Amino acid sequence: MDSVQETTQTESFDPILFSVMLGRLNNIVNEMAVGLERSACSSVIALCHDFSVAIYDIQCRQVCMHDSLPSHTASLDLVLAEIARYFADEIEDGDVFACNDPYSFNSHIGDLVTATPVFVDGVHTFWSVGKGHQMDTGAFVASSVTAAARDVYQEGIRIPPLKIYSRGKPRRDVLDFYLTNVRYRELVFGDLLAQIGSISTGRERMLELVSDFGLQQVTRYVESILEYADRRMSDEIRSIPDGEYFGEGWVDSDGHEQVNIPIRVKVTVSGDTVKVDCTGSGPQGGGGVNGSYASTQAAGKIPFLMYIDPDIPHNAGCLKHIEVFAPEGTICNAVFPASTSTATIVPADAIQDAVNKAMASAIPERVPAGGARCGNVPQLTGVHSVTGEQWGLMQFNNTVGGGASKGADGWPLYESVGCAGGLKIQAIEEMELLYPLLVEEMEIEADSMGLGRWIGGPGVRLTVRPTAGSMECITFGDGYNNPPHGVLGGTPGCGGGMYVSSADGGRRFLSATAHASIAAGEVLVGIASGGGGYGNPLERDVELIRRDVRDGILSPELVRRVFGLVFSSLDGPEIDADATASERQQLAEIPRPLIDPMHASAATWLSDNFRVGDVYVNGSELDNAAVRATP
């Protein structure tokens, strides 16, 4: 705690009170999060945790957040500042504001921001803020993440900074206007009320904190907390060698004309500052896979928040050390009226991967291998054939694995790089109870992950069948053609994919930006990629490899090819020592790259599984040009 005391000029600084204040602030945002999760109505928030909460000061500086999604909170200050600027002297006690507009510095239309001011003795002092992913936005298709959107208007209702409660009273006309434009009115309204309840809790608890310690004491220690994070972050960045570092990756497709869209970053480290420059990235596309200003700001900063000591509070003191630039008109910073519907995952995850690739040579001990890019997370929707009720869910149960890192294998069910494992999956029983679906299988997919001294989180095979009529599947991810990369000698994940299987055996493979109809009697099959591997595979613990072969996670053929282990018997399994020594000697002579792969369209999963008679859907199945005989 001495380092904390050094950061403040206040003579009466009390390190114990500092810890108490930091703990109280974290408890406040934790209570906000728990309340939102337990009171929301949609599965995407109540069961899958696709939301974030935080407290900000009057300058819109992030003071604290807890159990939130980095893709939200690493740039949430931008939209809050726009709300504060827009309403200026019209902000009153009891007001609640909302915004989902990516051109008002929000991430994308699917994320609705709610904010309420905290007034103390008539003076505005703090903000209580939440952001939650909405089940529906009134888009031209039943989805709140729509890769097929041609422009922002097709994404649904766009909400600039808007006052939805005035002095504690709801503005019914405004709320009705919003809810009239979405499909699942009751669910969306329930989630909105849950968000308002959550930020109201934050407001009340901040008032209690001020009552307990006094406004002057609270604001003084908030400043100390920001200064503490500032100093710790400064030290962390100074430990990185100064220099320029370069990384490159690719987005599979914009769902229309463009494929393998390049993402290029130059990372400049100088002293205690980092600059991430996305110049050289591809042009904005005709679909919804463009980055907004806010989503790219978050994507460029998140990797460095992951490199640092986890005890450092992730607040404005950290964020101020990282600058992110992306030229307008590129996929990383699209200009109006381009659609940015998938911005928080595509291209944001590819940007983070590119930053990690760039930093692999500078700080290899801190950099993870490539992870999920929200592939295999479709939005499913339909009309119940018996009740006539329209239903929809975002299905997180088939998510990709996370990348391995030094000292640890990757996590399964990671969902996306920007969410860093913060999302949850639904219990199968809940899914089948709430929606007309039957989950026929959900299991680990063998050989799906990248291999190395530490292996990526495994992918998952999920088979889902509609049980009350047909359903639509709207995909919106990335990474099928450009799989999670391996680092420092590790190999990439498989890439994975999805297909619709009909009763006659026909199969329609879907791109990561597809829209398909699944008839009664058909099934949706998703094979999620595992994350990338870290380090030389020959350095992995042999007993761990044997265990994974025994459990069916790795095949003997792949183990021989990558790890050089040869089994004399699969009963055990038993290793053939002589054959293994020969294989491993040959593998040891092969140089292993820092990053693997280094070229676009490296995934082989689709070509390995595509057979004569199959078709491939890139974009909407309703567009005949999107359905081709070969991928």
Q: At 586, which amino acid appears?
A: Q
Q: At 123, which amino acid appears?
A: V
What is the rounded CA–CA span in Å between residue 159 and residue 147?
19
Exposure of 328 by Cβ count < 10 A (0-12 exposed, 13-18 middle, 19+ buried)?
exposed
Q: How many CB atoms lie within 10 A of CB 550?
A: 13
Q: How many CB atoms lie within 10 A of CB 3?
A: 11
Q: At 562, which amino acid appears?
A: V
- Contact status, residue 270 vs residue 322, Cβ threshold 8 Å: no
Backbone angles phi, psi at 294, to 5 degrees: -70, -40
Q: At 126, which amino acid appears?
A: F
What is the rounded CA–CA span in Å between residue 580 and residue 585?
8
Exposure of 272 by Cβ count < 10 A (0-12 exposed, 13-18 middle, 19+ buried)?
middle
- Contact status, residue 379 vs residue 325, Cβ threshold 8 Å: no
Name 333's bridge partners. Answer: 330
Taking only Cα atoms into account, the Rg of the chain, rounded to an integer number of angstroms, comes to 25
- Contact status, residue 395 vs residue 381, Cβ threshold 8 Å: no
pLDDT confidence of residue 12 = 80
Task: DSSP letter for 581, please.
Answer: H
Q: Is the dihedral of CA 264, 268, 273, 277 positive or negative?
A: negative
Q: At 293, which amino acid appears?
A: Y
Residue tagged 């290029």 (tokens): 264
Residues 6 or more apart whose CB falls under 8 angstroms from that of 512 comprise 147, 252, 253, 346, 373, 375, 475, 476, 477, 478, 479, 480, 497
Q: At 319, which amino acid appears?
A: L
Backbone angles phi, psi at 39, to 5 degrees: -115, -10
What is the rounded CA–CA span in Å between residue 506 and residue 467?
20
Residue 321 exposure: Cα atoms within 13 Å on the Cβ side:
27
Residues 552-561, buried b or exposed e (16+ Cβ, 10 A)? ebbeeeebbe
Residues 386-425, buried b or exposed e (16+ Cβ, 10 A)? eeeeebbbbbbbbbbbbbbbbeebbbbbbbbbbbbbbbbb
What is the rounded CA–CA span in Å between residue 241 and residue 227?
23
E strand residue ranges, 154-219: 162-166, 169-170
Residues 6 or more apart whose CB falls under 8 angstroms from that of 507 comprise 499, 500, 501, 611, 613, 614, 615
Q: How many CB atoms lie within 10 A of CB 267?
A: 25
Backbone angles phi, psi at 208, to 5 degrees: -65, -40
Can you give the three-state secondary structure of 220-234, one letter per residue? HHHHHHHHHHHHHHH
Residue tagged 């220690």 (tokens): 221
What is the rounded CA–CA span in Å between residue 114 and residue 103?
16
Q: Is the dihedral of CA 57, 58, 59, 60 positive or negative?
A: positive
**Three-class secondary structure of residue 150 per DSSP:** coil
The full DSSP string for 318-385 is HHTTEEEE--TTBTTBPPTT---TTTTTTTHHHHHHHHHHHHTTT-TTT------BSTT--EEEEE-T
What is the rounded CA–CA span in Å between residue 120 and residue 125?
7
Q: At 514, which amino acid appears?
A: A
- In which residue ranges of the chain is pLDDT below 70? 1-11, 622-631
Backbone angles phi, psi at 613, to 5 degrees: 100, -20
- Contact status, residue 354 vs residue 249, Cβ threshold 8 Å: yes
Task: Enumerate the H helices of 117-184 as residue ranges.
Answer: 172-180
Task: DSSP letter for 630, please.
Answer: -
pLDDT confidence of residue 622 = 62
Return the percent helix, strand and coil in the chain, to nearest 5.
Answer: 30, 25, 45
Domain ranges of the chain: 2-232, 368-536+592-631
pLDDT confidence of residue 375 = 84
What is the rounded CA–CA span in Å between residue 516 and residue 472?
6
Task: Enumerate the H helices of 554-623 as residue ranges.
Answer: 556-563, 577-588, 605-609
